[in-house]
């Protein structure tokens, strides 16, 4: 599946430019996951972090007796935050943990899902989890040869613990509408949680 990852990296470079840093993490019993950092053009612009390795294997239904080695959804994760505001480069390991979760925990990561790392995403971050948003805006889906499904590049939206709890009750769409109605800057790495009353 190295050829899949080469195509994925080419798509990321095409959409986001040249990465200026990369880190790799290997978890026991899983394939290596890399996280690429795409720099901000200037202070206050978005820094992008993208995983590379999650799409090497298709995600499979955890209730399936046997995982299909070819068919099934494939994805990589993309996080965008304002540069120069916080030490967000420490998000590399948490992102790799999230990208490894389909292999480690048998999760199928899809839009509307919540993913929790149980600790701040970076030092001083008010966020311990992310909401998986709809793909297609920043990085277009990557079509693969049949019968493989396309690789989708899923944006991640950091959530405070209160927002995550509210989302569990009211749903992902309701939380996104609340963010939109309140004019929440979801790329601000130090933003306060949105009012949920």
Mean predicted confidence (pLDDT) in 167-181: 95
* pLDDT band at residue 43 under the 50/70/90 scheme: low
Q: Where are the beta strands (DSSP E) in the chain?
A: 21-25, 33-38, 46-52, 74-82, 114-116, 129-132, 151-159
Q: What tens digit of pLDDT does each residue of 60-99 get?
A: 876 666 666 778 899 999 999 998 888 999 999 899 999 9
Mean predicted confidence (pLDDT) in 21-50: 84
What is the SS3 assignment for 120?
coil
CA distances from 82 to 33, 43, 99 (A): 24, 8, 22
**Is the pLDDT assigned to residue 44 strictly greater than 80?**
no
CB 82 within 8 A of CB 45: yes
Neighbour order of strands in the sheet with 46-52: 21-25, 33-38, 46-52, 74-82, 151-159, 129-132, 114-116
The C-alpha atoms of residue 136 and residue 189 are separated, in whole angstroms, by 23
Mean predicted confidence (pLDDT) in 129-136: 93
Mean predicted confidence (pLDDT) in 6-31: 89
**Is the pLDDT assigned to residue 57 strictly greater than 70?**
yes
64 contact partners, CB below 8 Å, separation of at least 6: none
Give me the helix-helix angle, 161-170 and 172-181, nearest 10°.
120
* CA triple 130-134-135, angle to 5 deg: 110
The mean predicted confidence, pLDDT, of the chain is 89
Alpha helix positions (H), 53-197: 92-105, 161-170, 172-181
pLDDT at 66: 66
Mean predicted confidence (pLDDT) in 120-124: 93
């Amino acid at each position: 599946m190295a050829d899949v990852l080469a195509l994925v990296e080419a798509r990321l470079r095409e959409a986001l430019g040249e990465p200026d840093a990369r880190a790799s993490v290997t978890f026991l019993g899983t394939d290596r996951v890399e996280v690429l950092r795409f720099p901000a053009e200037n202070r206050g612009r978005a820094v992008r972090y993208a995983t590379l390795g999650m799409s090497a294997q298709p995600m499979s239904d955890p209730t399936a007796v046997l995982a299909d080695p070819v068919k099934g959804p494939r994805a990589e994760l993309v996080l965008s935050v304002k540069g120069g505001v916080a030490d967000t480069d420490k998000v590399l390991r948490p992102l790799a943990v999230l990208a490894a979760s389909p292999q480690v925990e048998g999760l199928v990561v899809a839009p509307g899902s919540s993913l929790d790392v149980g600790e701040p995403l970076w030092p001083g971050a008010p966020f311990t989890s992310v909401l998986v948003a709809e793909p297609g805006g920043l990085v277009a889906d990557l079509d693969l040869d049949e019968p493989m499904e396309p690789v989708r590049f899923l944006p991640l939206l950091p959530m405070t613990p209160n927002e995550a709890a509210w989302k569990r009750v009211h749903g992902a769409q309701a939380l996104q509408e609340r963010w939109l109605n309140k004019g929440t800057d979801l790329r601000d790495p130090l933003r306060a949680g949105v009012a949920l009353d």
